[in-house]
C-alpha cells in the first residue's frame, strides 16, 4: 500500500466516524418517533411499542444480511455502487410521515397491520441506516488493515443511546409530530450526502486497487471464538443476543403493564440495553466477570422481589429494580458476546448473528409468547436462560481451565444458584396461575379474573384485573349482584350523572371502556347504551363471568374497536351522557384526550349533554389537561372528588370530571354539593393529535 494512499485514506477516517454515528442516531430516533405517531391508531396499547421493536429488529437483520451478502458476492466497486443506488431510492421516499390510510379498519390483526404500515412508511430508509454500521465497519478494515472495527460498533451504540435520550427531552416536548418527521427526513438527507460521498471515495480506492480483498487480523489478539467449534460459536452468537432481547422486551412489558406505561419507560430499558453494548464493545476493561456476575445476581434478586412484592414498592423503586436487573443481565450477555468476537474476517457474519438473535427474541416476545403463555412468563424464562448460558460459556472458556477441586466447587455453586432461581421463579408462576379464576392474554395485555373474600359471603366478589389495576367487580351474593360497585357507585361522579341527569327517560348513553359492564346497572327501560372497547377479550369476559350485561333493562351494543376510530366513522350518536373510562389504568390511550378527540365527543353529544371522564390515576394528574381542553371549547369544567365508603374496602376511590354546557345539570343540589369549588381554576395543558407531552401530567 502506497504512502500516498495512506495519507489520502486517513483524511477520510472522520467520514467513517461521522457516518456510523449519524446512521445510528437517526436509526434509533425514528423508533420512538414513529412509535408515538402510530400509537393512537392502534388503541394506545404498550404492545404497539413491542411490535415496533420487532419491526426494527427485523429490518436491522435485513440490513446486516444485505451487508454480509454484499461483501461476499460483489466486488468492492459494486458494493459501493449498490449502496449509492439504495441511498438515492431512500431519499426519494422522504418525508417518512405515515399515511392516514394506514389506520386500521378494525382491531382484529393489529400486529400485521402495524408491520405493514411501518414497511410502507419507513421501511427503505430504515433498512439503509441499519446496513450502514456493518457495511462501513467492513469497508473500514479494508481501508485501514490491522485496525479493530469494534470501537466503531461501540460508537454506533453511543449514537443510538444519545438518540433515545434526546427524543423525550429535546424533541417530544417542543415539536409537533409533523415537524419531527420533517426534521428527521432532513437529517436523513444529510446522512445520505455524507454516506454517498464516502461510498464514492471507497469505489475510487477500489478502482485503483487500494482496498484489501480480505481484512487483516488485529496483531496479537487471541480470541476465545478461535478455540470453539463452528456449531458452538454460532449457537452462542445467536443465543446470547436472543436472551438479552427477550429480557429487554419482557421487562419493558412488565414496566408498562404493571408499573406505568409512559414513553420514557419504552426508552429507558432500550437505552440501558444499548449502554451495555457500548461498555462491552468499547473497552475490554468494562466487563470483568469478578464484579459483573455478583452485581447481576444481586440485581436479579431485586427483580424477583419486585415480582413478589411489587405492590408494596413505590413507582421509582420498581423502575429502579427492574432496570438495574436488565442492565446487569445485558452486561453479562453482551460482555460474553464480545469475548466471543471473531477476527475481522468474520465481522459481518458475527453482526448478522447478533441481529438474528435480536429478531428471535422479538419474535418470541411479540408473537409466540402471547400464544403459549397466559401471563408475562417470558421474563422468568429469560432470566433462567441468561444464567444458564453464562454457566455454559464459562465452562467452554479454555482461558479459565480449572483443576478438579475448582471445577467441583464451580459446578456446585452454579447448580445451586440455578436451582434456587428456578424454584423462586417457578413458585411465582404457580402463585399467578393458582390464585386466578381465569387468565387470558392477547395483544392488549393480560386480563385476570380473581375472587376475593370468599370466606365472607357479604363481601365475596369477583374482580376483573388488567395489569395491576382493578377494572371493576361484582358481588357474588345474588341479592347484591345488581348493585353498581367500585368506581361507579351512586356517590361517584358518574353515578351522580346517571342518577340526576335532567332527562331520565329514553336516554342515549355512550361508554368508552366496558370493564365488567357495571354502568348498565343504571339502565332504565327505553334507554340505549352504546359501549366501545378495543379489547375483544374484555367483551367476552364481561359476558361470561359477570351478569351486568345480561341483567340490563335497556338494549345495548358493544362495539369492539378503538373508540376514537369508531366515533370518527359513525354518524352522530346524540348521546345525553358520554362516559370516558379509559384512563384509570396505567397505559392511558393519549389519543382520546386531544383537542381533536374532544371536538369529536362534542359532535356526538346533545347540546345539553354531559361528558363524564374518569380521571383517577396513580401516576398522572389529568385535571390540567381536561381543564385546558374545556376552556378551549367553552365548556364548564367541574370535578367530583371520590370518597372511600366503609364498604368499598378502601380500594376504589374515584375522581370524575364533567365537561358540559348544561348549567341546569350542574346547578342541581345533589350535584352542586359534590363539586370541588376550586377545580375549575388552575394550570392548563392542551394536547393535539400532533403534540402531546405526558411528562407535563406526571404527579
Residue 284 has a pLDDT of 67
Residue 4 has a pLDDT of 39
- Angle at 623 (CA atoms; ends 620, 625), nearest 5 degrees: 90
Alpha carbons within 13 A on the beta-carbon side of 419: 6
Look at residue 10 and tell me whether its pLDDT is greater than 50. Answer: no
Look at residue 235 and tell me whether its pLDDT is greater than 70. Answer: yes
Residue 96 has a pLDDT of 85
CA distances from 544 to 541, 547, 582, 622 (A): 5, 8, 21, 33
Cβ neighbour number for residue 509 with a 10 Å cutoff: 26
pLDDT tens readout for residues 442-464: 877 788 898 888 888 888 899 99
Q: How far apart are CA 136 and CA 351, in angstroms?
A: 12
More confident residue, 505 or 256: 505
Residue 7 has a pLDDT of 41
Among the ranges given (83-87, 129-133, 144-148, 673-677), the one the predictor scored with the smallest mean pLDDT: 144-148
pLDDT tens readout for residues 69-107: 888 888 888 888 999 999 999 999 888 888 777 676 665
pLDDT band at 580 (very low <50, low <70, confident <90, very high): very high
Residue 6 has a pLDDT of 43
Range with top average pLDDT, 144-153, 173-182, 539-548, 684-693: 539-548
| Mean pLDDT computed over 611-623 | 87
| Mean pLDDT computed over 383-405 | 76
Range with top average pLDDT, 142-146, 435-439, 558-562: 558-562
pLDDT tens readout for residues 466-508: 876 788 899 999 999 999 998 999 989 999 999 999 988 899 9
More confident residue, 156 or 476: 476
pLDDT band at 398 (very low <50, low <70, confident <90, very high): low
More confident residue, 548 or 172: 548
665-680: b (≥16 Cβ within 10 Å) or e: beeeeebeebbeeebe
| Mean pLDDT computed over 560-579 | 92
Residue 322 has a pLDDT of 92
Please say whether the beta carbons of 695 and 616 come within 8 A.
no
Residue 8 has a pLDDT of 40
Residue 105 has a pLDDT of 65
pLDDT tens readout for residues 219-229: 455 666 667 77
More confident residue, 694 or 87: 87
Percentage of the chain exceeding pLDDT 90: 38
Q: How far apart are CA 179 and CA 37, in angstroms?
A: 12
Q: How far apart are CA 262 and CA 177, in angstroms?
A: 17
State phi, psi for 108 to the nearest 5 degrees: -75, -35
Look at residue 260 and tell me whether its pLDDT is greater than 70. Answer: no
Among the ranges given (309-313, 389-393, 531-535), the one the predictor scored with the smallest mean pLDDT: 309-313
Look at residue 44 and tell me whether its pLDDT is greater than 50. Answer: yes
| Mean pLDDT computed over 353-359 | 91
| Mean pLDDT computed over 289-303 | 89
Q: How far apart are CA 499 and CA 497, in angstroms?
A: 5
- Angle at 260 (CA atoms; ends 175, 34), nearest 5 degrees: 35
Please say whether the beta carbons of 480 and 524 come within 8 A.
no
87-119: b (≥16 Cβ within 10 Å) or e: beebbeebebbbeeeebbeebeebbebbbebbe
Q: How far apart are CA 333 and CA 315, in angstroms?
A: 27
| Mean pLDDT computed over 43-62 | 79
Which residues, listed in sequence order, are joined to residue 639 by a DSSP beta bridge? 657
Residue 404 has a pLDDT of 59
Among the ranges given (100-114, 326-340, 684-698), the one the predictor scored with the smallest mean pLDDT: 100-114
Q: How far apart are CA 698 and CA 47, in angstroms?
A: 22
Please say whether the beta carbons of 614 and 585 come within 8 A.
no
Among the ranges given (243-247, 327-331, 564-568), the one the predictor scored with the smallest mean pLDDT: 564-568
| Mean pLDDT computed over 46-71 | 84
Please say whether the beta carbons of 441 and 370 come within 8 A.
yes
pLDDT tens readout for residues 273-292: 988 988 888 766 778 888 88
Chain mean pLDDT for the chain: 84
pLDDT tens readout for residues 428-443: 888 877 767 888 888 7
DSSP 160-197: HHHHHHHIIIIITTTS-HHHHHHHHHHHHHHHHHHHHH
Percentage of the chain exceeding pLDDT 70: 87
DSSP 560: E
pLDDT tens readout for residues 618-671: 778 899 999 999 999 999 999 999 875 555 444 577 899 999 999 999 999 999
Look at residue 403 and tell me whether its pLDDT is greater than 60. Answer: no
Q: How far apart are CA 482 and CA 146, in angstroms?
A: 78
Secondary structure (3-state) at 360: helix
Torsion region of 137: left, alpha or beta (phi above 0 gives left; psi -120 to 50 gives alpha): alpha
Please say whether the beta carbons of 638 and 493 come within 8 A.
no
Closest-CA residue to 521 (of 558, 546, 541): 546
Amino acid at each position: 500500500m502506497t504512502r500516498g494512499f495512506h495519507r489520502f485514506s486517513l483524511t477520510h477516517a472522520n467520514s467513517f466516524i461521522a457516518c456510523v454515528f449519524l446512521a445510528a442516531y437517526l436509526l434509533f430516533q425514528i423508533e420512538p418517533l414513529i412509535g408515538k405517531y402510530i400509537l393512537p391508531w392502534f388503541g394506545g396499547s404498550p404492545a404497539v411499542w413491542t411490535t415496533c421493536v420487532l419491526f426494527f429488529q427485523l429490518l436491522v437483520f435485513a440490513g446486516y444480511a444485505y451487508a454480509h451478502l454484499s461483501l461476499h458476492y460483489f466486488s468492492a466497486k459494486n458494493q459501493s455502487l449498490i449502496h449509492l443506488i439504495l441511498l438515492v431510492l431512500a431519499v426519494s421516499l422522504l418525508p417518512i410521515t405515515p399515511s392516514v390510510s394506514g389506520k386500521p379498519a378494525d382491531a382484529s390483526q393489529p400486529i400485521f397491520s402495524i408491520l405493514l404500515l411501518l414497511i410502507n412508511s419507513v421501511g427503505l430508509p430504515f433498512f439503509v441506516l441499519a446496513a450502514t454500521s456493518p457495511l462501513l465497519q467492513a469497508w473500514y478494515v479494508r481501508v485501514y488493515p490491522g485496525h479493530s472495527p469494534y470501537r466503531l460498533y461501540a460508537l454506533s451504540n453511543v449514537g443510538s443511546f444519545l438518540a433515545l435520550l434526546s427524543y423525550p427531552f429535546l424533541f417530544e416536548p417542543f415539536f409537533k409530530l409533523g415537524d419531527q418527521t420533517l426534521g428527521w427526513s432532513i437529517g436523513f438527507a444529510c446522512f445520505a450526502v455524507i454516506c454517498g460521498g464516502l461510498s464514492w471515495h471507497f469505489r475510487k480506492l477500489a478502482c485503483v486497487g487500494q482496498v484489501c480483498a480480505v481484512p487483516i487480523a488485529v496483531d496479537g489478539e487471541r480470541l476465545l471464538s478461535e478455540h470453539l467449534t463452528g456449531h458452538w460459536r454460532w449457537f452462542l452468537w445467536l443465543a446470547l443476543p436472543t436472551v438479552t432481547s427477550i429480557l429487554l422486551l419482557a421487562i419493558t412489558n412488565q414496566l408498562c403493564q404493571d408499573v406505568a406505561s409512559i414513553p420514557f419507560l419504552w426508552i429507558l430499558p432500550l437505552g440501558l440495553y444499548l449502554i451495555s453494548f457500548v461498555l462491552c464493545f468499547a473497552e475490554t476493561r468494562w466487563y470483568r466477570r469478578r464484579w459483573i456476575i455478583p452485581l447481576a445476581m444481586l440485581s436479579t434478586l431485586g427483580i424477583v422481589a419486585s415480582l413478589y412484592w411489587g405492590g408494596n414498592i413505590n413507582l421509582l423503586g420498581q423502575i429502579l429494580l427492574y432496570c438495574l436487573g436488565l442492565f446487569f443481565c445485558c452486561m453479562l450477555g453482551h460482555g460474553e458476546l464480545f469475548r466471543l468476537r471473531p477476527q475481522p474476517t468474520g465481522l459481518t457474519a458475527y453482526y448478522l448473528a447478533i441481529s438474528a438473535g435480536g429478531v428471535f427474541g422479538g419474535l418470541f416476545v411479540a408473537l409466540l409468547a402471547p400464544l403459549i403463555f397466559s401471563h408475562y412468563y417470558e421474563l422468568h424464562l429469560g432470566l433462567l436462560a441468561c444464567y444458564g448460558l453464562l454457566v455454559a460459556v464459562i465452562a467452554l472458556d479454555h482461558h479459565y481451565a480449572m483443576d478438579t477441586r475448582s471445577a467441583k466447587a464451580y459446578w456446585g455453586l452454579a447448580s445451586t444458584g440455578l436451582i434456587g432461581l428456578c424454584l423462586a421463579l417457578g413458585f411465582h408462576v404457580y402463585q399467578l396461575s393458582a390464585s386466578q379464576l381465569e387468565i387470558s392474554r392477547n395483544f392488549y395485555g393480560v386480563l385476570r379474573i380473581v375472587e376475593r373474600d370468599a370466606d365472607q359471603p357479604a363481601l365475596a366478589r369477583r374482580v376483573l384485573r388488567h395489569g395491576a389495576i382493578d377494572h371493576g367487580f361484582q358481588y357474588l351474593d345474588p341479592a347484591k349482584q345488581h348493585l353498581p360497585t367500585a368506581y361507579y357507585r351512586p356517590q361517584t361522579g358518574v353515578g351522580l350523572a346517571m342518577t340526576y341527569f335532567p332527562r331520565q327517560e329514553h336516554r342515549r348513553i355512550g361508554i368508552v371502556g366496558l370493564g365488567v359492564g357495571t354502568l348498565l346497572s343504571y339502565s332504565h327501560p327505553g334507554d340505549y347504551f352504546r359501549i366501545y372497547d378495543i379489547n375483544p377479550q374484555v367483551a367476552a369476559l364481561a359476558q361470561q363471568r359477570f351478569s351486568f350485561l345480561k341483567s340490563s333493562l335497556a338494549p345495548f351494543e358493544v362495539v369492539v374497536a378503538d373508540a376514537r376510530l369508531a366515533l370518527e366513522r359513525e354518524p352522530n350518536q346524540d348521546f345525553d351522557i358520554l362516559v370516558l373510562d379509559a384512563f384509570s389504568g396505567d397505559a392511558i390511550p393519549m389519543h382520546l384526550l386531544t383537542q381533536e378527540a374532544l371536538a369529536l365527543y362534542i359532535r356526538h353529544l346533545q347540546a345539553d349533554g354531559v361528558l363524564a371522564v374518569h380521571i383517577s390515576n396513580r401516576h398522572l394528574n389529568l385535571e390540567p389537561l381536561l381543564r385546558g381542553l374545556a376552556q378551549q371549547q367553552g365548556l364548564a369544567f367541574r370535578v367530583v372528588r371520590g370518597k372511600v365508603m366503609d364498604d368499598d374496602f378502601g380500594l376504589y376511590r374515584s375522581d370524575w370530571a364533567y365537561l358540559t354546557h348544561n348549567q341546569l345539570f350542574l346547578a342541581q343540589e345533589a350535584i352542586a354539593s359534590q363539586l370541588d369549588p376550586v377545580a375549575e381554576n388552575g394550570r392548563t395543558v392542551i394536547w393535539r393529535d400532533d403534540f402531546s407531552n405526558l411528562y407535563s401530567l406526571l404527579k
